[in-house]
Amino acid sequence: MRTFLITLLISSATMSMLALIYMAITPLLEKRYSRKWLYYTWLLILIWLLVPLRPQVGVAAIRIDIPIGNECE
């Protein structure tokens, strides 16, 4: 449970920092992108804040055990 709370805290802090950075650069992006794309980007940030999933780098999603030696016969 403790690792889950730490992961939740790190994920929330990371996405909050991303949201603050995005808020800071939004005036520059408004000149280049339509409101529709800016809206979708905010929606993505909001979903990521509500569902704090962090993909783990270096960990396989599916694990396959390969038999060694005569075990496969």
**∠9-14-18 over CA atoms, to 5°?**
145
Amino acid 12: pLDDT: 83
| pLDDT value at residue 53 | 65
Segment (H or E) for 25: helix 2-30
Amino acid at 58: G
The pair of three-digit structure tokens given for residue 5, joined into one six-digit string: 């709370």
- Under 8 Å between Cβ of 23 and 45: no
The CA distance from 29 to 22, in Å, is: 9
pLDDT tens-place string over residues 2-59:
887 888 888 888 888 999 999 999 999 888 999 899 999 999 988 888 876 666 666 6
Residue 42's contacts (CB-CB under 8 Å, 6 or more residues apart) are: 22
Of residues 26 and 1, which shows the higher confidence score?
A: 26
